[in-house]
Structure 1
Amino acid sequence: MGPAMKTLQVALIGYGFVGKVFHAPLIAHTEGLNLHTVVSRQPDVVAAAFPQVRIVAEADAAFADPAVDLVVIAAPNSAHAPLAEAALRHGKHVVVDKPFTVTLAEAQSVLAHAERSGRVLSVFQNRRWDADFLTVRKLIASGRLGEVAEFHSHFDRFRPRVADRWRERDEPGGGLWFDLGPHLLDQALQLFGMPQAIFADLAQQRAAAKTVDYFNVLLRYPRRRVVLHAGSLVPASGLRFAVHGTRGSYLKHGLDGQEDRLRAGGMPGEPGWGTDTQPGQLTVDEGGTLRTGSVASVPGDYREYYRGMRAAIMDGRPPPVTPQEALEVMGLIEMGIQSSLERREIAL
């Protein structure tokens, strides 16, 4: 038997939707991590789910606690940068939920704080560990699609009513481009690297919308074209990925089921966790004949992100999402806004 695994003590700032549904259960079910503190103004809600956790009302109490190793920030987007910088000043390692910040300048400032403190900084990009994305990544790498010519990534919803919540208000970091844009941009960069240019159409389609609730974004590469799309008035599309290459196409409908299971109170690691019940369809060119069949999905597991964070802190490995990757996404978020406002393509 080797030495006992050191358990990292984690403080979670924010117990709204993202903190409650994603971060708290993932931290609690990742070996070598312990949910030590939750910063929330709803102590009864937290205590009902995690009775053993220390609950404080202010983030400063978590920052000042010498027992805390890692701070996870799941507060509203506009608070990401100041909270991250404060945690780093207190010598804590930091995970920020996406988007990293609300401006590229803020992102660069947070990164400078991390470099000065010598602490690990990362952004939570859980959708790198979606079953559908892992399957697409494996298929492209295998060469079965040939050289990818077109890549379409959709994350559509049917939410005709505008909810009264900060994500749907006209405030820094609000709207669909900041909510889903970071996921789709990060996945595209993981597959293809930085594009040559971006052309973005950001819109408000619902009558009562106060901020962006639709985007259609084109990333231009030398020959390849990547289209990222999200709408709020899409009752029945269901398309997640369409990938077309010189040897074949892959079509995937339906979302990874991990979020739905977490929303329903499921716990990471349960039987069947991360399996995809709706396999994609692969069409390949076999000597001039197109043949179509289903493709078994690679299982997904969002805990891989937190396992990677633990390895980064304990073993000095690169974090699962590096600060440079976070900066690249923030740069594209800003350029997308500029492109939409100016109605033109922005070269990188």
Structure 2
Amino acid sequence: MLVVAYIGFGNSVCRYHLPYVERRKDIIKVKYIYRRKEDRVGDEERETWYPNITFTSDIEDVMNDSEVNLIVVNTPDAFHVSYTMQALEHGKNVLCEKPFAMTAKEAKEVFDYAKSKGLVAMSNQNRRYDADMRTVRKVIESGVLGDIVEVESHYDYYRPSIAEHKGYGILYGLAVHPIDQIIGQFGQPKKVVYDCRSIDNPGFADDYYDIDFFYENGMKAIVKTSYYVKLDYPRFIVHGKKGSFLMPSLGHQSSLKPKPGPIEISFDPLPEDKWGTLSYIDDQGNDITKKVPTEIGDYGIIYDNLYDAIFNHGEKIIKDEEVIEVLTIIEEATKVAKEV
């Protein structure tokens, strides 16, 4: 059984981890959540929502418990590497939130150290298992679109208040998701072209990016975010030699609770207005257009794989070289944003 300790108790743990782990009680037990003392002051009530979990402000409780075999790092980005290395030094397998590290070099050092210890260290690139990405993957891998020509991935918003934001970090905090989705699906590109900047604060922020990935087979993938998109835009646009697929933007499936308590997740099928639209020419020459039911998002797939990797020596679904490639791209994108 995976016996888990979380380092951190923010939105990520409550929304993107615990609800999925709860559905896997047969293979997962959450034993600890570590929080710094200062973070617990005035926020004790949330801890009572999880009576079967021990909350502690002593990191040694977590690191020295021989029953704990997986530590999940959910701290601010700057502390990811230090907590991951500490866990590995204590013989614990690690799942670390993205970005796994702040540089590709750091990430490689962590992976190499984990291998030397015979442990599993993996980045929590859970957005590969979003409902929209799982649907796009299913359509692409079905082959109905033929050879893929172009893929657009959009995380767009209308937030004019971005003009007040000066500082970097959006590439690391947001772009890391769609970049990983592209690298995870299509692999390492032969060329990357960067348009990374800020509309309002050029040279002082990284809130606009349009990154193009070019592949050997002629395919192009585009990852783009703008905070000045007022009308809804598809989350994904996929064009192949036989047809096209549009995937609408979806929210996370967690529900808003009328009263305090743990986040609840719906795994019910989504209504048709949340389905994708597929149009293609089939092998008999028929012109077909139809709606494609949206897959159910499930971040718990990461934990299923960790169980297999830790206990059965299975292959990690988030590969080390993919994490390193994503960080290499983000590092270069940040340099471009600073040069504008």
TM-score (norm 2): 0.87
Residues 204 and 214 in structure 1, CA contact (< 8 A), matched pair in contact too: yes
Match of 1:233 among 228, 232, 238: 228
CA distance, structure 2, for counterparts of residue 330 and residue 57 of structure 1: 31
Match of 1:253 among 244, 248, 263: 248
Which residue is 2:8 aligned to? 14
CA distance, structure 2, for counterparts of residue 317 and residue 217 of structure 1: 33
Instruction: Evaluate the alpha carbon distance shift between residue 160 and residue 61 of structure 1 in structure 2; reply closer, same or farther with a 3 A threshold.
Output: farther
* Residues 245-254 or 12-21, more deviating: 12-21
* CA RMSD in angstroms, aligned pairs only: 2.8
Deviation for aligned residue 1:67 = 2.4
CA distance, structure 2, for counterparts of residue 316 and residue 261 of structure 1: 36
Aligned residues: 329
Which residue is 2:194 aligned to? 200
SS in 1 for 2:44: helix
SS in 1 for 2:48: helix
Match of 1:214 among 187, 208, 211: 208
Q: How does 1:36-75 map to 2 (within 5 A)?
A: 36-40=31-35, 41-42=39-40, 44-75=44-75
Residues 284 and 291 in structure 1, CA contact (< 8 A), matched pair in contact too: yes
SS in 1 for 2:235: strand
Q: How does 1:114-133 map to 2 (within 5 A)?
A: 114-133=114-133
Residues 198 and 337 in structure 2, CA contact (< 8 A), matched pair in contact too: no
Instruction: Evaluate the alpha carbon distance shift between residue 289 and residue 313 of structure 1 in structure 2; reply closer, same or farther with a 3 A threshold.
Output: closer
1:16-38: CA deviation from partner (whole Å, max 9, x where unpaired): 22122212332333231111111
Q: Which amino acid aligns with 2:296?
A: P
Give the share of equivalent positions with the same residue, in percent: 29
Residues 15 and 263 in structure 2, CA contact (< 8 A), matched pair in contact too: no
Match of 1:313 among 279, 295, 310: 310
Residues 213 and 231 in structure 1, CA contact (< 8 A), matched pair in contact too: yes
CA distance, structure 1, for counterparts of residue 170 and residue 45 of structure 2: 27
Residues 162 and 227 in structure 2, CA contact (< 8 A), matched pair in contact too: no
Whether 1:175 aligns to 2:169 is yes
Instruction: Evaluate the alpha carbon distance shift between residue 24 and residue 237 of structure 1 in structure 2; reply closer, same or farther with a 3 A threshold.
Output: same
CA distance, structure 1, for counterparts of residue 338 and residue 192 of structure 2: 13
Deviation for aligned residue 1:163 = 11
Deviation for aligned residue 1:201 = 1.7
Residues 46 and 55 in structure 1, CA contact (< 8 A), matched pair in contact too: no
Unaligned runs of 5+ residues in structure 1 are 1-6, 344-348
CA distance, structure 1, for counterparts of residue 69 and residue 152 of structure 2: 40
Deviation for aligned residue 1:254 = 1.7
Deviation for aligned residue 1:156 = 1.5
Whether 1:280 aligns to 2:276 is yes
Q: Which amino acid aligns with 2:155?
A: F
1:72-101: CA deviation from partner (whole Å, max 9, x where unpaired): 001011110111111000000000011111
CA distance, structure 1, for counterparts of residue 271 and residue 116 of structure 2: 41
Residues 179 and 326 in structure 2, CA contact (< 8 A), matched pair in contact too: yes
CA distance, structure 1, for counterparts of residue 319 and residue 12 of structure 2: 21
Which residue is 2:95 aligned to? 95
Q: How does 1:267-346 map to 2 (within 5 A)?
A: 267-268=264-265, 270=266, 272=268, 278-285=274-281, 291-341=288-338
